[in-house]
Amino acid sequence: MHTLDVTEESQWIAVLDTLRARSPRLDILVHAAGVSAGSPIAETEYSVWKHVLATNLDGAFLALKHGIGALRDHGGAIVLIGSASGTRPAAGAAAYSTSKAGLAMLARTGAKECRDAGHAIRINVVSPAGVKTPMWSTMPFFQDLVRQHGSEDAAYQVLAGTGGRFAEPEEVAESVCYLASDSARGITGVELLIDGGYTL
């Protein structure tokens, strides 16, 4: 197992070099690192804005830059984790929504560049709405809901009443596996929404 700060290009280079030293072929890259923040635009610290954009969007850029380089000779699949919040704005989450909207266009641009250059690299995005992950427990408004309603499950139910059902992490993983597989060999530049109708 290797760890890296996705915002640091030197660490991307080091990890991919280590992987290629073990096996000359890398077939699949999934970029799933992300952070969020919850505050109105007028109350958001610039440092918070930069941190969210750096992790979610700059990190995805570095994943594509170095992933394409690693896959160029033999092809493969890159899957980025976006968010339905990049399609439907979420009040109080401008940095997050903006970063995920940018990520979708980044993936489409990368897919077009690979296609035009004749590289057999497919680049797609899986964009879920609410997913039951530990990220929610870091958000003050979610912590308030847990206190008010007695449990995380109850808090999820309250949120589901305003934005649709929450997905389990496994549902997102299954979609990623599909887009990375040969079954999706004709799919590139696509954003697959896993949102239970949230964006309708």
CATH label of the domain that carries residue 182: 3.40.50.720
Residue corresponding to tokens 């969007």: 57
State the helix-helix crossing angle for 152-163 and 140-149, rounded to 10 degrees.
110
pTM, entire model: 0.87
| Tally of structural domains, the chain | 1
| C-alpha 125, offset from chain centre | 7
Residue 171 lies in a domain: yes
Q: 134 or 47, which is more confident?
A: 47
What is the band of 20 on the pLDDT scale with cuts at 50, 70, 90? confident
Q: Identify the domain containing residue 190 by its residue range.
A: 27-131+167-194
Residue 150 lies in a domain: no
Q: Which residues are catalytic?
A: 96
Which pLDDT belongs to residue 161?
A: 66
Q: Strands 76-81 and 121-128, how do they pair?
A: parallel
